[in-house]
Amino acid sequence: MKSLGVDLLAPAGLALAALIVPLVVLYVLKVRRQRRTVASTWLWQSAQRDLMARSPFKRLIAQVPLFLQALALLALALGLARPATRGRELAGDHVAIVVDTSASMSALADPAGPVDGPRRIDLAKKAARELLSALTPGSDALVLEAGREAHLVAPLDRDVQRLAAVVAKLDARDVEGDLGAAVSLAADRLRPLGGARRIVVVTDGNLARPDSLRGVSLPLDVVRVGAPVENAGIVRIDVRSGTDPASRTEEVQVFLVLANYGARPRDAYVTLREEHASDVLASRRVIVPPGEKLPVVLTFHPSPGDYRQGLVADLSPHDAMPVDDAAYGRVPAGDKLPVYLARRDGAKASPWLERALAADPMVELHAGTLAEITAAKVDLDAFVVIEGACPPAPPGGDLLLVDPPAGVCYGAKVGALLEHPSITSWEHGDPRLRFLTLDGVHLARARRLEPEGRAQELIRTQEGAVAVDVSSSTRTATVLGFDVGDSDWPLKASYVLFVRNLIEQARAHRAHGITGPARTGEPLRASLPASVRKAEVVGPGGAKLDASLRGALLVVPDLPRAGLYHIAWEGPGGPGKDAGSVVVPANLTSELESDLAPRPIVTDKGPVDVASASAQPDAHREWTWVLALVALAFVLFDVAWLTREPRLRPSPAPTVASGPSAPRAPQRRPA
């Protein structure tokens, strides 16, 4: 950085000074007079000489209005050219400016200031604009946003105003930041260019990954914004369905972890309510010791209308970083898992499957034919068991297909019957086969299954696989190539464990809903019904998000804000037909972002020399407003000069004529 002189930010404004030429022409042009008949022209002899001249111009006479008007035009021209004194210079032919937009940048810049005061991201944008103004003539710059992912928001450009407009649109995101990805992208963009190259990072120094700036080969400058802040927040949330030990009734249990990163104890209230509701479901006053974490459990008894509704846990009063003072969840869909057992139309139900499923007291079993189950309104997260059939689009969530007919079933080829196949191995690490052994299990008959890959084989015999995994991106599905009644497996303990593993896996998927745990900054994937044709995602602020529907899988590329996201879909029947909706909570819950203590920034060359944005001199100080006032003063002075009252000159005293022709006064003769 070095001091410079005066610079013109918009030199094209000097073109206004060209108006001085027509102004002067107006003052040298003769006035076109009208012809009138008068008694005498003795008093207009000078005007007569002008009329008799052949040239339309007259001699330029210096006049006060001419000078005032010319000076006003010059002042306006200089003002439009935007003269500015430059306080510093950012050296480099090509400069990459990386702005940190992680969650910590949403904290107040001054913790002692008002709650609506400037945030760290506001100071960062101001510093970035100052850096752009400090670029040397002829140099260009690019701007990158460093959130969870790196985004190039402005390519290389020499137009400072266009780059500044892009910087003004940046805002902090509710994500865990990664400066390393943005700096690496900046280095890749600058490396092929010639000349001097430089990377400038504008951040609060609260890096989630302190070593993210290692391996940077180009010159690197770091500008830090914001003051140290004491912060406390919710760093973890988990919602489960349980049982009240006193009343033996169903209750929702919300587990929270509060962390205090300040030097003083934090006295606050933790409240729990449903989305769009003012009634508090549960609350608790807590005192979190400095530098420690405190687990908190909030419980309430749900009603059937509360199932799958959004929950908001709030830590109040809010501090300098409000984003981590709230966490979001969803009310579980009841404590019992709905299970649907469907048999092939006209076939007799197997008692072994029904007994094993009904043995679990936390299962709500529904049995019937395949047509009855398909026509029923099956929950998206229900566990469905189908015997003797392989329908193309079965309802529900997790799926177990038992003894399907020959053909292709979910990508696996179902072959001919095998007589008395011997089980040789099984996948011990698969959750469906954990804690069990198939030694001593004998099969009377089974169909050979050929999946798309050997990794999908679950139970193998000498002739081939008899149980395979046919899961998709939207559900977990298992195919058994034999009827359990054609074996002695139901008489073994491993059969009960196998059914229990399937139920527990379906229960875990149901606890997460149609989506897994969602985190801000990461893609959202939701498993929708196979018949869905249209889906829409609405964010916490009510804005619609871009989403792509790939079969029954809905993908949202990025979740920029923490909050509750609403997914609604329609089936092939149009509005209101096969429609549904679900609430998806997304949380920041990052200890690295909630801890606002600045961390040392280190590269491969050692610690980085970090400069404070408040200590940097102004890159430009424009004087346009001063010149506009000067021009206004000249105009006002010109108006005052033209409208002034003329001063009256005093009449000359009468004089007595002398000389021979002058009359003489009469003389008295003596008497």
Residue 1: its pLDDT value, please? 39
Q: What is the pLDDT of residue 188?
A: 92
In a domain, 666, yes or no: no
pLDDT at residue number 534: 87
CB 99 within 8 A of CB 202: yes
pLDDT of res. 281? 94
Rg (CA), the chain: 42
Rounded CA separation 506/209 (Å) = 36
For residues 371 and 443, membership in a common domain is answered with yes
Phi first, then psi, for residue 353 (nearest 5°) are -70, -45
CATH number of the domain at 572, please.
2.60.40.10
pLDDT for 576: 55
- pLDDT value at position 56? 61
Torsions phi, psi for 422 (to 5 deg)? -100, 130
User: How does pLDDT run across 579-614, given as a tens digit for each residue?
Assistant: 788 899 999 988 889 988 777 776 655 555 566 555
Q: Identify the pLDDT of residue 659.
A: 47
Judge contact between 291 and 264, C-beta under 8 A.
no
Among 4-13, 188-197, 412-421, which is the least confidently predicted range? 4-13
- What is the rounded CA–CA span in Å between residue 505 and residue 511? 10
Residue 488's domain is classified under what CATH number?
A: 3.40.50.880
Mean pLDDT, to the nearest integer, of 233-245?
89
Which domain CATH number covers 114?
3.40.50.410
156 vs 43: which has the higher pLDDT: 156
> Within 13 Å, how many C-alpha atoms sit on residue 362's CB side?
15
pLDDT one-digit tens code per residue, 495-542: 999 999 999 999 888 876 666 568 898 888 887 877 788 899 999 988
| pLDDT tens-place string over residues 173-185 | 999 888 888 999 9
Q: Are residue 136 and residue 217 in the same domain, yes or no?
A: yes
Which residue type is seen at 81? A
Is residue 622 domain-resident?
no
The better pLDDT of the pair 391, 334 is held by: 391
Phi, psi of 52 (to 5 degrees): -80, -15
Mean pLDDT of the chain: 83
Q: What is the bridge-based pairing of β-strands 94-100 and 140-146?
A: parallel
3-class SS of residue 417? strand
Query: In sequence order, which ranges of 308-416 are alpha helices (DSSP H)?
Result: 351-358, 370-375
What would the two tokens of residue 208 be? Answer: 């989630």
Question: Strands (DSSP E) along 275-318, which ranges?
Answer: 280-288, 293-300, 310-316
Helix, strand or coil, per DSSP, at residue 267: strand
State how far the Cα of 212 lies from the Cα of 98, in Å rounded to an integer: 13
Confidence bin at 210 (pLDDT 50/70/90)? confident
pLDDT beyond 90 at 39: no
Q: What per-residue confidence (pLDDT) applies to 671?
A: 42
pLDDT at residue 137, as a whole number? 79
In a domain, 668, yes or no: no
Q: What is the mean pLDDT of residues 261-278?
A: 93
Tokens of 135: 């670029």
Residues 288, 359, single domain; the answer is no
pLDDT value of position 586: 92
Q: Which of 330, 358, 387 is the last residue of a domain?
A: 330
pLDDT at 573: 62
Instruction: List the alpha helices (DSSP H) in 113-260.
Output: 120-133, 160-168, 179-190
Contact between residue 481 and residue 460 where contact means Cβ atoms under 8 Å apart: no
CA distances from 624 to 80, 83, 85, 161, 637 (A): 7, 6, 11, 16, 20
pLDDT of residue 332: 86
Lowest-confidence region among 333-337, 461-465, 567-571: 333-337
The per-residue pLDDT for 662 is: 47
- Average pLDDT for residues 273-281, to the nearest whole number? 92
Between CA 160 and CA 9 the distance in angstroms is 9
Question: Has residue 670 been placed in a domain?
Answer: no
pLDDT score, position 489: 95
Place of tokens 């990664």: 178
Using the structure block, give the residue that is written with the tokens 């935007």.
82
In single-letter form, the type of residue at position 657 comes to A
Q: Does 407 share its domain with 488? A: yes
pLDDT of residue 59: 66
| CA nearest to 586, candidates 567, 568, 563, 566 | 563
Same domain as 324, residue 417: no
Q: Are 524 and 515 within 8 A, CB to CB?
A: yes
Count the Cβ atoms, other than its own, within 10 Å of residue 135.
Answer: 21
State how many domains the chain has: 5
Domain end, chosen from 330, 350, 367, is at 330
**pLDDT classification of 282: cutoffs 50, 70, 90:** very high
Q: Which range (182-196, 299-313, 596-610) has the least confidence?
A: 596-610
Average pLDDT over every residue of 407-425: 93
What pLDDT score was predicted for residue 402? 95
**Residue 2 within any structural domain of the chain:** no
| CB neighbour list of residue 150: distance below 8 Å, 6 or more residues apart | 144, 178, 181, 182, 184, 185
Q: What angle do CA 239, 593, 261 make, to 5 degrees?
A: 90
Q: Give domain status of residue 146, yes or no.
A: yes
543 and 603 part of one domain: no
Are 402 and 491 contained in the same domain?
A: yes
**Which parts of 210-340 fold into alpha helices (H)?**
none
Give the confidence band of 438 by pLDDT, cuts at 50, 70, 90.
very high
Q: Are residues 505 and 430 in the same domain?
A: yes
Residues 191 and 238 in one domain: no
Q: Which domain holds residue 368?
A: 337-512
Give helix 64-80 / helix 624-642 axis angle, nearest 10°. Answer: 160
Helical (H) or strand (E) element with 337: strand 337-343
- Does residue 538 fall inside a structural domain? yes
- pTM here is 0.68
> Do 149 and 260 belong to one domain?
no
Longest dimension (CA), the chain: 185
Kindly give, in sequence order, each residue whose CB lies less than 8 Å from that of residue 552, ignoring residues fewer than 6 positions away: 472, 474, 527, 528, 529, 530, 532
pLDDT reading at 45 higher than 80:
no
| 219, 200 Cβ separation under 8 angstroms | no
Domain check: are 204 and 239 in the same one? no
Confidence of residue 186 (pLDDT cuts 50, 70, 90): very high
Decide: 384 and 400 in contact? Cβ < 8 Å.
yes
- Name residues whose C-beta falls within 8 Å of residue 628's C-beta, 6 or more positions apart in sequence: 75, 76, 79
pLDDT of res. 294 = 95
Paired residues of 122 in beta bridges: none
| Conformation bin of residue 458: beta by default, left when phi > 0, alpha when psi is -120 to 50 | alpha
- Answer whether residue 52 is part of any domain: yes
Is the pLDDT reported for residue 658 higher than 50? no
* pLDDT attached to residue 650: 61
Cis peptide before 114 (omega within 30 of 0): no
- Residue 381 shares a structural domain with residue 464: yes
Q: What percent of the chain has pLDDT over 90?
A: 42
One-letter amino acid at 366 equals H
> What is the predicted pLDDT for the residue at 637?
82
Tell me the torsion sign for CA atoms 404, 407, 413, 417: positive
Task: Tell me the C-alpha distance between 484 and 616, whole Å.
Answer: 77
**Euclidean distance between CA atoms 635 and 322, whole angstroms:** 53
Q: In sequence order, what E strands does 410-509 have?
A: 412-419, 423-426, 445-450, 457-461, 464-469, 477-480
pLDDT in tens, 94-120: 999 999 999 999 998 877 767 778 899
- Say if CB 179 and CB 214 are below 8 A apart: no
Above 70 in pLDDT, residue 50?
no
Candidates 319, 327, 177, 322; CA nearest to 262 is 319
